[in-house]
Amino acid sequence: MTRPQLAHDVRIVDTTLRDGSHAMAHRFTETQVRDTVRALDAAGVEVIEVTHGDGLGGSSFNYGFSRTDEMQLIAAAREEARRAKIAVLLVPGIGTVEDLRRARDHGADMVRVATHCTEADVSPQHFAAARDLGMETAGFLMMAHRTPPEDLAKQARIMVDAGCQAPYCTDSAGALLLHEARARFEALVAEVGDEAWVGYHGHQNLSFGVANSVIAQEVGVRYIDGSLCALGAGSGNSPTEVLAAVFDRLGVDTGLDVMGLLHAAEDVVRPYLTRWPKMDRNAIVQGWAGVYSSFLLHAEAVAERYKVSAHEILERCGELGLVGGQEDMIIDVAIELAAER
């Protein structure tokens, strides 16, 4: 599978309607999805991601139930998009190949298969299924700060050999400092840059999402993620509207209408926000301690139940090295902290 042709210097992928699902407690309505997709599509965004925050099949007791079935939201997004592709996230072990087939039937054009940064070997069957379905593919190497650049590149190689067209350095905790991010970008581009595009997905927990996106573009990364109003897990993602403005100032062609994205952020997304992601104590602790960004709301809910501090829970999760998929362990951490008092 060859990498797709790109029309611009950078392809901005908007994940408001997927990563933003975490901040919305997975309560998106069909109307919100339709309005957001129309605005993003009109502003020139080429790829719009739509699923539960934890991907296909994520609506569950462990991760949080969706207000609206994700297949209904995918179909609605497909109906509204005139030019943009509709992408879905799939985490092996949460979503299945059958979920992927259903998503394709409801209008998904692209899948982003997400694994922990050292576990790319669980992804080949999902890339194979995506190829059989004629879908574009990308691969998320999550919690990228948890493995050295050379090892991350080896994991990207596994994905590309399995049919991934764009492996990502995914900073799930918003923990990568500037030099750490650059080293990982350079390693991935050196390993697979002649065969696949390289992507970057950043979070703002330490305020480096946009800065690292600029570094990414400078060293050859061509897929860069953002979310309107930074809507996403933790302190949110790199804001799509800020990325568009910054790259425009730098003379980097994204094909995006900056004012159109500012309209989408201010007039479409901001009115329905139930929580505006911010760099508060809890979110900063996530970046500092290297904790998966989607743990935030889970930790805050458990903290209230067990009368302990959310930031202490998150710090302990970092000490234990918990990763995505271990959200149930947050309760154990809270119980231990409560017992220590």
Give the DSSP per-residue string, 205-269. TTS-HHHHHHHHHHTT--EEEEBGGG-SSTT-BPBHHHHHHHHHHHT------HHHHHHIIIIII
78 is in an annotated binding site: no
Strand, helix or coil at 183?
helix
CA 305 to each of CA 234, 310, 330: distance values in angstroms, whole numbers, following the listed order:
20, 11, 12
**Angle ∠(30,131,181) on CA atoms, nearest 5:** 75
203 is in an annotated binding site: yes
Could you give the CA distance from residue 169 to residue 146 in angstroms, rounded to a whole number? 11
Rg (CA), the chain: 18
Task: Give the CB-side neighbour count of residue 88, counting CA atoms within 13 A.
Answer: 35
106 is in an annotated binding site: no
19 is in an annotated binding site: yes
332 is in an annotated binding site: no
- The DSSP secondary-structure symbol of 92 reads B
Instruction: State both tokens at 130.
Output: 């995506």
201 is in an annotated binding site: yes
Task: Identify which of 14, 265, 129, 324 has the alpha carbon closest to the alpha carbon of residue 111.
Answer: 129
- The DSSP secondary-structure symbol of 51 reads S
CA 58 to each of CA 48, 53, 198, 262: distance values in angstroms, whole numbers, following the listed order:
18, 7, 26, 30
Residues forming the active site = 22
Residue positions forming the annotated binding site for Mn(2+)? 19, 201, 203
Binding site residues, as ranges?
18-19, 172, 201, 203, 292
Instruction: Point out the annotated binding site for substrate.
Output: 18-19, 172, 201, 292
